[in-house]
Chains A and B, each alone.
Chain A
Amino acid sequence: MYQYDHYDQTLVDQRVAQFRGQVRRYLAGELSDDEFRPLRLMNGLYLQTHAYMLRIAVPYGVLASRQLRMLAHIARTYDRGYGHFTTRQNIQFNWPELERVPDILADLASVQMHAIQTSGNCIRNVTSDPLAGVADDELEDPRPWCEIIRQWSTLHPEFSFLPRKFKIAVSASKQDRAAVQVHDIGLYLVRGADGEVGFRVLVGGGLGRTPMIGQTIREFLPKQHLLSYLEAILRVYNQEGRRDNLYKSRIKILVKALGAAEFGRRVEVEWAQIRDSALQLEPAEIERIRAFFAAPAYAADAAADASFDAHLAADAAFATWVRRNVAGHRVAGYRNVFVSLKPFGRPPGDISAGQMEALADLADRYAGGKVHSTFTQNLLLTDVRQADVYPLWQALAALDLATPTIGTLADIIACPGLDYCSLANAESISVAKSLHARFDELDYLYDLGDLRLNISGCMNSCAHQHVGAIGILGVDKSGEQWYQITLGGSSGNVASLGDVIGPSVRHEDVADTIARVLEVYLEQREPDEPFLDTYRRIGMAPFKARVYGVPAKGRAGKEAAAHV
């Protein structure tokens, strides 16, 4: 993984000192609340319902074991013993005291971490494929490009006061696991006509109140021009994006207003002026960054191991877990192992200090000392020898990190919702718990197959409910918590936004409603057809009829129908 040199380290250290000064000035009354607010946000510090929340950057989801240990230390020393992984591969702490945040940042800086630009109207943490570098369907490792973008975007002099937050994602694999099409800028590494690798550039994707799928403005960008092209996009957005209305200030609104073709034309005009500037990446720099991500030396005899298959045959629980939680590796004899942060009945994405430390040890022992965060709020250990998968599973199971439900309905993405977030309309975590309680039979979950279910507590859509095959959105109805349900969303290669099934339902009726939706799927699916495909084939009508048409059990249908 990338290692700081003295430039990177100096910058992060100086950022800590700067923020310490900002906190001091605020506490001394030299900065008003309004003046301090954007400053703390640019460093990931939110004010939530009960306390501050600090969001720490995990650049493109890569964590070294010593960094994970530091996060455990922070959870224990400054927080309440746990942290929460987000859909943007970052980690949040929910209970830090403002006075101690500078110390947290100093601790982070000691392990090459920071909270820079994890919030605020600036370029946020670049996200990528959690399987980057080990996926068998990948053109090349996208992480060097993420790191190049990270450096370019860090404290950018021109783009630190944008109309609104700005998110970039990079994917290099056939299967998009980075939700590229719902980012402000999405980058796909692709092969051009001449065989060279470059980028397909999308703009204007995003969720929130006005969800949109990104549109391609350039089919092929030679890789050396990445930064000048990003700079051109950002300059057009910085100058022309709306600033009069919070809800209309994302780049997607500008792209929609101008049309993608006109937006792209303006970018090209700007780009023509800076394309051949010093921003052009030199092969030596690309290689310098790439070297940090070089693959480890894989053992040639890893595939010769017979124990893995023997355990699979002998231990049904292990085999079950492998089927759901273990992914293939591009090198024979190796596996990639998902670490579930979705135990039944617990808040999705939460992890305790003890679990972090134990996992750091396991990463050192079995996975090259690295842990990866995923946008589904799980973790991933890569480069695990197949002979080590069984003992790793036993250790993970003992830590309650081996719930065998990755990719199933129970692998719920949920935002913190009303329990923590001051913007929330409704709870998310308790809805996830109610679904966990209702759908807790593994055989049923496996029969349903791959099924992405996402729950957000408000229209800000932090849990990406628009792109859940089933999406659940908290809405406020005269002080009561109601939930709007959508079907058919996907952030994959064929990205789509979910359709609203009908009137929203009460908290206590969410699980029943989802159960009816699932009944329709199980009745109507063709062999091996995933939920999403069935929905795309048969449409909304049968689901709608089942949920609202039959007043089964009375309440769900009737009362919901009253709230059109």
Chain B
Amino acid sequence: MSEIIKHRQIVADEWRSVADDETVGTGPVIVSLARFLAEREALLARGEALGVRVPPDVRLDALAGDLPRLALIAVEFPVFKDGRGFSVARLLRERYGFHGEIRAVGDVLRDQLFFMERSGFDAFAVRPGKSLQDALAAFDEFSVTYQAAADDPRPLFRRRG
């Protein structure tokens, strides 16, 4: 079982990411958005934890009604410099009130984690080959932030004292 960072800790990943042509089986699984939309009823009827993997250009309206029944949204980062996923996470948290796990998957590296966590991600599937221990340090690099974001709805000018 692979390891991920969740809530700033290295943990075993309980989730299985299934490809579109793979049988779903039992246990918590993450399926693609396309598969979820195609097999929605059957997947939800399993009665087990379900996660959906969304591309960075996802239109969340398509998923809005189902969010309360999803335990996890995995947002894909095709390449490090693609920042669309940050907006996806903020909207999930701040606009759609999603309380489940938001996981960054794909080209996820230490130096995005601070921004990702602020945007609403709480789980990080760091790219294989990179040290998770090293990546953990990213969360402590800054103790000060200016903006309102998913981690705090108040910009610094409402917190300054």
A contact set with B: CB distance below 8 Å: 5, 7, 10-11, 14-15, 17-18, 21-22, 30, 35, 38-39, 121, 151-152, 154-163, 227, 235, 238-239, 243, 273, 277-279, 281-282, 285, 288
Contacts and interface: CB of A to CB of B under 8 A. Distances in A.
Interface stretch (B13-21, B24-32, B63-71, B139-147): B139-147
Contacts of A10: 143-144
A154 B146 contact: yes
Contacts of A5: 160
A14 B137 CA distance: 13
Interface string B123-154: 00000000100100100011111111110011
Interface residues of B, number: 38
Contact of B142 (A14, A121, A282): A14
Given A152-B146, A157-B115, A277-B153, A243 B82 contact: yes
A159 B83 contact: yes
Contacts of B118: 157
B150 to A, nearest CB: 8
B146 A155 contact: yes
A7 B147 CA distance: 12
B73 to A, nearest CB: 16
B86 A11 contact: no
A155 B145 contact: yes
B19 to A, nearest CB: 25
B84 interface: yes
B108 to A, nearest CB: 12
Contacts of B155: 152, 227, 278-279
Given A161-B82, A285-B157, A278 B148 contact: yes
B140 to A, nearest CB: 9
A238 B83 contact: yes
Contacts of A156: 146-147
A15 B146 CA distance: 13
Among B84, B87, B157, chain A packs the most CB atoms within 10 A around the CB of B157
28 contacts: A14-B141, A14-B142, A21-B137, A21-B141, A35-B109, A38-B80, A121-B81, A155-B114, A155-B142, A157-B114, A157-B145, A157-B150, A158-B83, A158-B87, A158-B115, A158-B149, A159-B83, A160-B83, A160-B86, A238-B83, A238-B84, A239-B84, A243-B84, A277-B148, A278-B154, A278-B155, A282-B157, A282-B158
A281 B137 CA distance: 33
B142 A11 contact: yes
A22 B138 CA distance: 11
Given A39-B111, A121-B81, A157 B86 contact: yes
Given A238-B87, A277-B153, A151 B82 contact: no
B90 interface: yes
B149 A157 contact: yes
Given A158-B119, A159-B83, A238-B83, A281 B157 contact: yes
B37 interface: no
Given A5-B160, A7-B156, A152-B155, A158 B144 contact: no
Given A39-B111, A155-B145, A157-B115, 12 more contacts: A14-B141, A21-B137, A21-B141, A152-B155, A158-B87, A160-B86, A161-B112, A238-B84, A243-B82, A277-B153, A279-B148, A285-B157
B48 interface: no
Contacts of B148: 277-279
